[in-house]
Amino acid sequence: MTSIYDFASTAIFIVAVALFFYRLQRQDEPLWPYVGISIGCAIANWAGDEGYHIVGGGALFLALASVIYLAKQPLSDPQDP
């Protein structure tokens, strides 16, 4: 890991995985939003390392915004019918 994109995309990915497992314990969480975040982190890392800083920064911003959006979603109550 040599660039800020490596550290930032890895950190966002770790937070997304932790959020997924936390929410999975409490409800049946769909996987597709987290796959999108993972792809966004990979694109951000690749683009940033190749010198496309606007694309890399934008992808990091979108991935982080997606994690924050998912974290703010309320958990459903398992006792609700």
Distances (CA, A) of 6 to 1, 49, 56: 6, 8, 11
Which is higher by pLDDT, 64 or 77? 64
CA 7 to chain centre: 13
Instruction: Specify the pTM.
Output: 0.85
Residue 62 pLDDT: 96
State pLDDT tens for residues 11-62: 999 999 999 999 888 888 888 999 999 999 999 999 999 999 999 999 999 9
Whether pLDDT at 80 is above 60: no
- Direct distance between the N- and C-terminal alpha carbons of the chain, in angstroms, rounded to an integer: 47
CA–CA separation, 1 and 21 (whole Å)? 25
Between CA 19 and CA 14 the distance in angstroms is 9
Is the pLDDT at 3 greater than 60, yes or no? yes
